[in-house]
Homo-oligomer: A and B are copies of this chain.
């Protein structure tokens, strides 16, 4: 089954915004063994899209188009696809109701333009958008299926996973899947990881791998191919086991696992509560933890103690300690962790203090410390631990790496204490 992906939008052709949809769809379809032969980006231009459709329909069995389903005049996908298929656009009643409900609840303003988004080519199947007004659809012309999805990435992603992927799997009776497993690590360098896994993976002719780095997280992506699905999965299970053995605690999860997800799962399972005190990360750790559904079960809250005054007033950090060691120090990180635990009565306190840059001066002093110097402390039961880190990169890079390092340190301390840690048992 050959696939072409067309992304529509002048903001994409001119390079102002990067296309997230094409690569996402390509990866998902490649994983189930489909052959993505081409990705095209065209502007908000009916003639250009029609031409791309013509070219694609001559060689692909499935064409997926994203973008151009909005309410404005430059959204041309609906009309163009209908025209290409030689059918007219008709209003879909259910979609009209969905859009009226969605918008009626939010603004009182007129939404006549949005009703355009309920129109689909005659004879097509509606693909419901559960979180937005841009409905998708599937239409067929000669030997090709054409699927149209909105350009907004979160909406497209949801519709792709809920509707498109099951549809394709059903239709193509795929058995020889290409199977992929990602193993996520923290604290080991990419070249060291590569060295350690190379000999394990290269010994199997059905496996290939690549490494990826993102905000301090180093992942190995392993692909099993050329075998039936069951066999592929068992090969991946086996290699995963070997890699765990080789890398030990560096591995924190697989596939879409995140550090905040792994920590959250542990805390929920062990019925432990957490509070966070952040200086240089400025709320990022709290933000990551509250991205997790149900985080109110374990996350009591956080204090972003950006100024020294807040460190003193809300976290009970002593002025003497600040004067003696400076705010970016082991002592202050420990004091912040104890302070936030004490103030919130959480089981665990986590604290981060550091220099995100671009300059290294500590508040109210002329003392300079190196940009990227970060201390993370946590207190679990009565054990207080602290680690020093050195990161490089931009202000935002340092924030992200420090946040991940803090979550990873907490993960390691928690799993070490897993046995003693059932405070509420």
Contacts and interface: CB of A to CB of B under 8 A. Distances in A.
Contacts of A290: 281-284, 304, 306, 356, 399
Interface in A187-243: 189-192, 194-195, 198, 210-213, 221
Interface in A274-329: 275-276, 278, 281-287, 289-291, 293, 295-296, 299-307, 309-310, 313-314
Interface stretch (A67-75, A79-87, A163-171): A67-75
B52 A394 contact: no
A258 interface: no
A91 interface: no
A283 B306 contact: no
Contacts of A55: 51, 55
A137 interface: no
Interface in A120-134: 131-132
A349 interface: no
B194 A72 contact: yes
A28 B13 contact: no
A41 interface: yes
A307 B296 contact: yes
A383 to B, nearest CB: 24
- Is chain A's binding surface mostly helix, strand, loop or mixed? mixed
A393 B314 contact: no
Given A27-B16, A301-B307, A390 B106 contact: yes
Q: How many copies does the complex hold?
A: 2
A15 interface: yes
Q: How large is the interface on A (under 10, 10 to 19, 20 to 34, 35 or more residues)?
A: 35 or more
Given A210-B74, A284-B283, A15 B36 contact: yes
Contact of A191 (B71, B286, B296): B71
Contacts of A310: 275, 300-301, 344
A12 interface: yes
B306 A304 contact: no
Contacts of A393: 131-132, 154
B28 A15 contact: yes
B15 A41 contact: no
A382 interface: no
A-B CB proximity, top 4 nearest: A282-B290, A283-B286, A15-B26, A15-B27
Given A13-B37, A22-B41, A282-B291, 20 more contacts: A11-B212, A12-B23, A13-B36, A14-B30, A15-B23, A15-B26, A37-B42, A39-B41, A55-B55, A70-B213, A73-B198, A106-B390, A131-B397, A283-B283, A286-B287, A296-B363, A301-B306, A301-B307, A301-B314, A303-B314
